């Protein structure tokens, strides 16, 4: 039962929809991986999705003035957004080029501990005020002000240069995300002294700032005091001095912090990976059918440019006593067609075949003799494929002259071909009937005084004698014989040798 249901379900889904879902899953998975690697990219993706939803809305409801404004502002707006997130996009591009498209951790195999421990030992020795921030799970950007965004590997020389008194940003904090410096010169919120750790008199502004940030997030903050030459660690609203500031002890302490992070990250990464795949599948399964459903009216109404074709005009139910004056306008019209943007109809010969079958049928059942003007309407078109629409005709009106049919009597003249050599028609003995009284549904001046039979082939008549032959008349469709008139006339002819 379940298998048959799945077979029916898969059979009702087109390959294009399946391909759309698979590609969307991959794209969303990459996006989620990048967002987990750098939370700022989440805001970037959110802005892009907002733009997409906005564009879809104005296209859906056909807002012309808004479309003009968006077309004028889209380029500078996108440029500003991209420039704002350029460092994050650069890191994401690095991830892509290193074939870690589905990763959720930033690229970086460099071990920052040796550079950090050496730089911190040197900063303590020379008593240079320092604040280093190591973010964990929480986003610290919302608690920081000012500064500049960086994207560089952690090195001792770079840290000492950034914290040199001649550097414009040396008073601010440095944010280090794993093995990269991502922000310098940041300003932190100060502690108000109401936390778990009581504020000491010897603490300066840097200590209060480190304690204040630790009260708001789970980041590790290291502070170097320029007055006392000590190294302190702040975390979760607590600040304590390190017992030893030797380089190897600092390295050991940094290792403990980063190892804790790595242990937490290992489990967290597996959870994030599974969550990213599940979220990508869920979003794709919701987004693709929803967008297809919303686009159904749009696709149904979407048309190509106007197609102009010529179609013949046919007439139905013309009264027996009337005919259309051949001096009227040419019985063709230009048809302005709107053809759906459907490749099964538009591609190749299909549209040409449909155009060749198109014709216009005018019903003259209730028409009367005289001049007649009729509006050409869309329902007069026949053999019109589904979804095609007639925008208009040229001319929009059809002008006709209907004339009463006239009665006339024609003598019947037989026609002979294929006489044997040495034979001739000596006499047409009789023609039964020998005249045709008919109604002419055309101008009488177009016809001669007689009507002829179809040619009679006398090949095979070798002997002289009298022969009676049934022969049909050669009549144009505009000459209507009476209903009781026989289908053939009997011609009696006498053949002889000269």
The model's pLDDT over 245-263, given as tens digits with 9 standing for 90+, comes to 899 999 999 988 876 555 4
Do 65 and 79 lie in a common domain?
Answer: yes
Establish if 257 belongs to a structural domain: no
CATH number at residue 345: 2.170.120.30
Do 188 and 145 lie in a common domain?
Answer: yes
Looking at 346, 373, 404, which one is the last position of a domain?
Answer: 404
Distance, CA of 459 to CA of 10 (rounded, Å): 72
pLDDT at 346 (0 to 100): 45
Do 123 and 240 lie in a common domain?
Answer: yes
Establish if 2 belongs to a structural domain: no
Establish if 40 belongs to a structural domain: yes
Do 124 and 230 lie in a common domain?
Answer: yes
Tell which wins on pLDDT, 356 or 361: 361
Instruction: Give the pLDDT mean for 20-36.
Output: 81
Looking at 380, 404, 428, which one is the last position of a domain?
Answer: 404
Establish if 456 belongs to a structural domain: yes
Give the rounded percent of residues in the chain with a pLDDT score beyond 70: 81
- Residue 318 main-chain phi, psi, to 5 deg: -70, 130
CATH number at residue 219: 3.40.1700.10
Establish if 18 belongs to a structural domain: yes
Question: What mean pLDDT is reported for the chain?
Answer: 79
Identify the band that residue 131 occupies on the pLDDT scale cut at 50, 70 and 90: very high
Do 124 and 191 lie in a common domain?
Answer: yes
| HSE-CB of 6 using CA atoms within 13 angstroms | 3
Distance of CA 201 to the CA centre of its chain: 66
What tens digit of pLDDT does each residue of 294-347 get? 666 555 444 455 678 888 888 888 887 887 875 545 578 888 877 766 544 444
Distance, CA of 29 to CA of 3 (rounded, Å): 29
Distance, CA of 93 to CA of 86 (rounded, Å): 10
- Indicate the pairing of strand 488-496 with strand 465-472: antiparallel
Secondary structure of residue 364 in the 3-state scheme:
coil
Instruction: Give the pLDDT mean for 393-420.
Output: 83
Torsion of Cα atoms, 322 then 328 then 332 then 334, to 10°? -130
CATH number at residue 451: 2.170.120.40
- Radius of gyration of the chain, Cα coordinates, nearest whole angstrom: 48
* Exposure string for 253-288, b = 16+ CB within 10 A, e = fewer: bbeebbeebeeebeeeeeebbeebbebbbebbeeeb
Looking at 384, 404, 424, which one is the last position of a domain?
Answer: 404
Q: In what order do the strands lie in the sheet with 465-472?
A: 424-432, 488-496, 465-472
Tell which wins on pLDDT, 344 or 385: 385
Distance, CA of 139 to CA of 103 (rounded, Å): 19
Do 164 and 181 lie in a common domain?
Answer: yes
Residue 438: enclosing H or E segment and its boundaries? strand 435-440
C-alpha dist (Å) from residue 374 to 48, 335, 378, 397, 405: 56, 16, 13, 5, 21
pLDDT at 50 (0 to 100): 85
Identify the band that residue 428 occupies on the pLDDT scale cut at 50, 70 and 90: confident
Do 281 and 239 lie in a common domain?
Answer: no
Establish if 25 belongs to a structural domain: yes
Do 388 and 410 lie in a common domain?
Answer: no
pLDDT at 97 (0 to 100): 47
Distance, CA of 231 to CA of 266 (rounded, Å): 29
Do 357 and 279 lie in a common domain?
Answer: no
Distance, CA of 135 to CA of 188 (rounded, Å): 13
Establish if 142 belongs to a structural domain: yes
Establish if 479 belongs to a structural domain: yes
Do 421 and 400 lie in a common domain?
Answer: no
pLDDT at 437 (0 to 100): 85
Q: Which residue range(s) make up the domain with 210?
A: 113-245
The first and second tokens of residue 1, run together, are 């039962």
Secondary structure of residue 229 in the 3-state scheme:
coil
What tens digit of pLDDT does each residue of 42-100 get? 777 788 888 888 887 887 777 888 888 888 888 888 888 888 777 767 766 665 544 45
Q: How large is the greatest C-alpha to C-alpha distance in the chain, in angstroms?
A: 153
Give the least confident one: 114-123, 403-412, 414-423.
414-423
The total of structural domains in the chain comes to 4
pLDDT at 327 (0 to 100): 54
pLDDT at residue 107 above 50?
Answer: no
Do 125 and 239 lie in a common domain?
Answer: yes
Do 395 and 410 lie in a common domain?
Answer: no
pTM greater than 0.75 (yes/no): no
Backbone dihedral region of 40: left (phi > 0), alpha (psi from -120 to 50 degrees) or beta?
A: alpha
pLDDT at residue 496 above 60?
Answer: yes
Say if residues 452 and 422 touch (Cβ distance below 8 Å). no
What tens digit of pLDDT does each residue of 211-225 get? 889 888 889 999 999
């Amino acid at each position: 039962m379940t298998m048959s249901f799945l077979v029916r379900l898969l059979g009702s889904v087109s390959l294009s929809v399946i391909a759309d879902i698979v590609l969307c899953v991959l794209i969303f998975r990459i996006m989620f991986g990048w967002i987990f690697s750098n939370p700022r990219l989440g805001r970037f993706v959110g802005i892009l999705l907002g733009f997409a939803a906005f564009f879809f809305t104005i296209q859906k409801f056909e807002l012309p003035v808004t479309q003009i404004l968006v077309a004028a502002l889209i380029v500078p707006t996108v440029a500003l957004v991209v420039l704002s997130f350029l460092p994050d996009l650069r890191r994401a591009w690095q991830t892509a080029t290193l074939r870690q498209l589905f990763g959720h951790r930033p690229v970086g195999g460099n071990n920052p501990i040796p550079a950090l421990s050496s730089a911190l030992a040197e900063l303590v020795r020379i008593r240079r005020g320092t604040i280093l921030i190591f973010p964990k799970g929480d986003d610290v950007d919302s608690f920081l002000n000012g500064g500049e965004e960086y994207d560089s590997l952690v090195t001792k020389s770079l840290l000492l240069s950034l914290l040199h008194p001649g550097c414009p940003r040396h008073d601010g904090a440095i944010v280090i995300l794993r093995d990269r410096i991502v922000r310098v010169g940041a300003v932190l919120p100060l502690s108000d002294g109401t936390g778990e750790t009581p504020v000491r008199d010897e603490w300066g502004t840097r200590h209060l700032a480190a304690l204040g940030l630790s009260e708001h997030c789970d980041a590790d903050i290291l502070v170097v005091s320029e007055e006392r030459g000590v190294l302190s660690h702040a975390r979760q609203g607590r600040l304590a001095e390190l017992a030893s500031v030797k380089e190897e002890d600092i390295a050991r302490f940094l290792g403990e912090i980063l190892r804790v992070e790595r242990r937490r990250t290992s489990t967290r990464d597996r959870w994030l990976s599974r969550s990213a795949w599940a979220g990508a599948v869920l979003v794709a399964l919701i987004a693709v059918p929803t967008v297809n459903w919303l686009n159904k009216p749009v696709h149904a109404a979407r048309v190509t440019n106007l197609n102009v074709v010529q179609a013949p005009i046919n007439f139905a139910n013309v009264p027996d006593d009337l005919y259309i004056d051949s001096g009227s306008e040419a019985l063709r019209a230009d048809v302005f067609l709107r053809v759906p943007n459907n490749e099964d109809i538009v591609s190749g010969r299909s549209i040409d075949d449909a155009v060749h079958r198109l014709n216009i049928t005018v019903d003259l059942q209730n028409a009367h003799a005289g001049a007649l003007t009729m509006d050409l309407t869309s329902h007069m078109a026949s053999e019109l494929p589904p979804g095609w629409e007639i925008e208009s005709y040229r001319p929009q009106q059809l002008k006709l002259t209907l004339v009463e049919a006239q009665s006339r009597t024609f003598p019947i003249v037989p026609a002979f071909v294929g006489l044997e050599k040495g034979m001739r028609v000596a006499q047409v003995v009789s023609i039964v009937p020998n005249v045709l009284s008919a109604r002419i549904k055309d101008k009488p001046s177009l016809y001669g005084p007689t009507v002829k039979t179809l040619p009679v082939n006398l090949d095979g008549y070798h002997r002289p004698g009298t022969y009676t032959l049934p022969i049909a008349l050669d009549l144009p469709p505009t000459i209507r014989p009476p209903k009781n008139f026989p289908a053939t006339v009997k011609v009696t002819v006498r053949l002889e040798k000269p």
